[in-house]
Structure 1
């Protein structure tokens, strides 16, 4: 199923043409209170909504997405490798009061179970054990995390630990988190883990089996934040980072990522109010209901006409889009609202022209928003008329500046020749007269 969705995503991305990653100024139906938000349709790369997306923020346990990627680089094909928990591992997070699975010194547990404990229950003890086992030490692992972030294009991200506990030098941006999350979800194993509402960690040599519940309330049935379209991904909370949630939702072959950071979490009796959860659910309900994929341009409807040179059977060539153009838009937007703004549209085109020949690019505009860029191409062949071409070429030559320069040079040379000939004749006549005078004496 996931491969099918990825294939559809690739098709839709190609159908966009040259659009890149357009950022559109849509406003959600419900105001967003969280500090930094990045809502993306990953099929087209369209940023549906953003708020402080490039602002420096603290990631809390969202860090564990990168932790998982570095671990998978080593253990993807050996997830059942057993690791022994050490005293030094647990000392790393002792006294922090942070979320843990409850590992014990000497406990033997597989990489697979540690990843479940880290991603579902957000166990910091699992994170440090995995880091040490993967790279030999926490500093070495953190270096690998920073290298991984850089490789993924998360250039405004820096890590100081594998668990997300606060450190002033441990930061990211919502836009960077999207890049990391998108790569994270390309792993079938990791995607399945974070879409698990609850999980039973098997018994180990020192601990009986334990059932853990996912910290992401949007995938837990019975939660007021539950939304069936959501398939993960990870929560995070510290005082400095606030309440954070990175998630993915899928409906009708469309996939969205919501990066919601810097929310608040308060408790009233037994009720927990988490604005990161509330904002995420509201964003998904809005985009899943009000947006759909629209075909705005096809490959047959004429968009521009350009005069032809050297063609006897037709005066103009019609330009059409090279590819159909699809865009994710609110259902209230009509195709008639979309306009094309060509770049470097030629005043005329010289025949011969081949059908499909690229002529110029054009921006696809909706009001003042750029949806993408396409190529405009010739809709048909246009043959060149040889007589017209010869006459036009000759006319162009005789009217060219070079022809005029040559004519002037010829005139100058001719005048110089006449002057030279005149002077030469005068000298010859003068010489003959001198000779006759000498003879008479």
Structure 2
């Protein structure tokens, strides 16, 4: 179950060198005061509204709580016992709960679903205790994750999202935290679940999205998954995913007024519908199609052809066609062995109306190494043969002079 490792965190950090698609950013009215929409594949930002201003995340916090707990769980079917400390103070603070009772035997899976779907603070407290030993230890881990992801405007004080002036984030940074969580397939499974029944059948839970459908008849079928939150100070917050023409997007919104309005879910559906109506995918290179070739020095392999590791695509406004976009490749003619998989080999820049639309980093798709013998032979060929030829010419010239 420990699927999110440090190399994935580095990948997440690298992915979030965000580029704004100003030439085609969407213009749309939302109930939410803050919003951030970006493409997980390209990291292009399609919509943002006050995305770097401080917000209170409310129960979006549980995205981080659950994702970190999952890293400590080896067997989701293992059972644990709910203790009085897991429920302490929740009734007084009017926290939302999953409905667990003291002494109840539940599985880790029950706790994970109970934390995300009904937004159960009891489940979060129990997860903190059984995976990190205490609430404070899990909060420390949450803030360490913030540091690992190089986030500057996020800080956690608890595992539930109950209001605290020092418990805050931004919609931009919450998107980064959700992207990190989505690296874990078990998290994705729970995040995208609409309804779930606990292992013993005594608890039935519905997701944020499902409640939007049930209470306001909102059409949620095109939204992949979501986690909402509400406090008086935060109002409605929502972190969701949606897939538009093979590109998965993360949308984070905050401060949609009205606890029971479902305006946060409606905002997600509005954005999804807009993107489906106005954007389409343009494929520039298909997987395994040659992008560029390089001459290799210090190697007998001579040439390296770089093929696309996957389809290279951008989601563009439907008024933009492939022929409207100019492409330039900035890469060296010669590269020196050894070459490690992942080494930078240049960039492809896509332009629309003389504005940079997207930059794609070219990276070596395999490792190329040269033995000492190969290097020696390379230099022998490079310098030896020309010397031999020069020697032959000089010898012939001398012979002609003698005759």
Give TM-score, length-normalised by structure 2. Answer: 0.70
Q: Deviations over 1:232-254 (max 9, x none)?
A: 12111111111011111124422
Residue aligned with 1:265, SS = coil
Verify: 1:66 aligned to 2:64, yes or no. Answer: yes
Q: Which runs of 5+ in 2 are unaligned?
A: 1-10, 292-305, 334-343, 363-403
Q: Is the 8 A contact 1:66 1:149 kept in 2?
A: no
1:131 corresponds in structure 2 to 128
2:268 corresponds in structure 1 to 280
Q: Distance in 1 between matches of 2:243 and 2:95?
A: 32
User: Which of residues 344, 356, 364 is equivalent to 1:370?
Assistant: 356
Q: Is the 8 A contact 1:198 1:213 kept in 2?
A: yes
Q: Is the 8 A contact 1:22 1:370 kept in 2?
A: no
Q: Distance in 2 between matches of 1:161 and 1:374?
A: 38
Superposition pairs for residues 156-167 of structure 1, below 5 Å?
Answer: 156-167=153-164
Q: Deviations over 1:248-274 (max 9, x none)?
A: 1124422111111111125xxxxx423
User: Which of residues 252, 257, 264 is equivalent to 1:259?
Assistant: 252
Moved more, 288-297 or 51-60: 288-297
Q: Deviations over 1:364-395 (max 9, x none)?
A: 3323642134699xxxxxxxxxxxxxxxxxxx
1:168 corresponds in structure 2 to 165
User: Which of residues 319, 343, 356 is equivalent to 1:332?
Assistant: 319
Superposition pairs for residues 298-377 of structure 1, below 5 Å?
Answer: 326-339=313-326, 363-367=349-353, 369-373=355-359
Q: Distance in 1 between matches of 2:79 and 2:360?
A: 53
Q: Is the 8 A contact 1:64 1:164 kept in 2?
A: yes
Q: Distance in 2 between matches of 1:79 and 1:331?
A: 44
Q: Distance in 2 between matches of 1:361 and 1:68?
A: 37
Question: How far apart are 1:223 and its partner, in Å?
Answer: 4.8
Q: Which runs of 5+ in 1 are unaligned?
A: 1-12, 267-271, 302-320, 350-357, 377-441
Q: Is the 8 A contact 1:322 1:374 kept in 2?
A: no
Residue aligned with 2:356, SS = strand
Verify: 1:291 aligned to 2:284, yes or no. Answer: no
User: Which of residues 80, 97, 102 is equivalent to 1:105?
Assistant: 102
Q: Is the 8 A contact 1:293 1:328 kept in 2?
A: yes
User: Which of residues 90, 93, 108 is equivalent to 2:90?
Assistant: 93
Q: Distance in 1 between matches of 2:16 and 2:319?
A: 22
Moved more, 23-32 or 247-256: 23-32
Q: 1:251 to 1:31 in 2, by over 3 A?
A: closer
1:53 corresponds in structure 2 to 51
Q: 1:199 to 1:344 in 2, by over 3 A?
A: closer
Q: Distance in 2 between matches of 1:168 and 1:33?
A: 24
Q: Is the 8 A contact 2:328 2:348 kept in 1?
A: yes
Q: Distance in 1 between matches of 2:361 and 2:121?
A: 51
Moved more, 22-31 or 177-186: 22-31
Q: Distance in 2 between matches of 1:188 and 1:342?
A: 35
Question: How far apart are 1:289 and its partner, in Å?
Answer: 2.2
Q: Is the 8 A contact 2:58 2:229 kept in 1?
A: yes
C-alpha RMSD of the superposition: 3.5
Residue aligned with 1:245, SS = strand
Question: How far apart are 1:222 and its partner, in Å?
Answer: 8.2
Q: 1:219 to 1:335 in 2, by over 3 A?
A: same
Q: Distance in 2 between matches of 1:218 and 1:337?
A: 43
Q: Deviations over 1:344-383 (max 9, x none)?
A: 99xxx9xxxxxxxx9996743323642134699xxxxxxx
Give the number of aligned pairs: 322
Residue aligned with 2:261, SS = strand
Question: How far apart are 1:217 and its partner, in Å?
Answer: 3.6
Q: Distance in 2 between matches of 1:241 and 1:373?
A: 36
Q: Distance in 2 between matches of 1:94 and 1:288?
A: 43
Q: Deviations over 1:287-318 (max 9, x none)?
A: 122111214689999xxxxxxxxxxxxxxxxx
Structure showing greater radius of gyration is 1
Question: How far apart are 1:175 and its partner, in Å?
Answer: 1.4
